[in-house]
Amino acid sequence: MPETPEQKARHEIDAKLIASGWLVQDRADLDLTAGRGIAVREFPMKSGFGFADYLLYVDRKALGAVEAKAQGTLTGVEAQSAKYAAGLPDDLPAYRRPLPFLFESNGSATLFTNGLDPKPRSRKVFSFPRPLTFAESLSQLHQLRARLTHLPPLDETGLWKVQAQAITNLEASFAKADPRALIQMATGSGKTYTAVSAAYRLLKFGGAKRILFRDS
């Protein structure tokens, strides 16, 4: 028999989890010593909270959950995954309660909400982060979104006024967690130097690890 849309989505989610370094297990075969990151299918939550499609463990402690959906829009699914954050049984070890890391996925598209952000909201991601990434995130005093709200004042030495204004406005946009920002400057106004200066501040003071820079 052909796969149902739900089964197809689950297989694609399994594949993406495995590609990101997770071991995918059924609840009946749960072995938290098998690897650092374990994704457990159909995990029973507290009474009234149903089953988490996937419960995520790192180093034998729960830290997140995945809500799986058949192909189609993920709009409005956040409420379903959010209930898993508070639905973890009380006797299970967890890094934090409620669970901080929540996903909604239909296999081809995945949304992620970091509950440790100052203003948590879902955003589209290419795939699931690796278990090590979550472990590092939990070890940090503040998440990236929080660090971007506390960047030190800009030293304008060596900058033109328009460059300083562009960087300051960009960082104000980051502080508001705007999903997109645009710097528009005239030819010869120092766009490359502005971009490099902004990237430097994100790396040095914001704790960013990778910045994609393309100078065309």
Domain ranges, ordered by start, for the chain: 5-139, 144-204
Q: Which residues on adjacent β-strands are paired with residue 52?
A: 43
Q: What is the mean pLDDT of the chain?
A: 91
The closest of 89, 82, 156, 83 to 120, measured between CA atoms, is 82
| Residue type at position 10 | R
- Asked if pLDDT for residue 34 goes beyond 90, the answer is yes
Of the listed ranges 72-76, 170-174, 182-186, the one predicted with least confidence = 72-76
Could you give the count of Cα atoms lying within 13 Å of 2 in the half-sphere of its Cβ? 2
* The CATH number of the domain covering residues in 5-139: 3.90.1570.30
Directed axis angle between helix 161-175 and helix 191-204, to 10°?
A: 40
The DSSP H or E segment spanning 137 is helix 131-139
Q: How many Cβ atoms from other residues are within 10 Å of residue 134's Cβ?
A: 22
Tell me whether residue 167 is exposed, middle or buried, using C-beta atoms within 10 angstroms of its C-beta: 0 to 12, 13 to 18, 19 or more: buried
Range name among 41-45, 74-78, 89-93, 156-160 with the lowest pLDDT average: 74-78
**Residue whose token pair is 């058949």:** 70
pLDDT at 8: 86
Q: Would you give the end-to-end CA distance of the chain in angstroms? A: 51
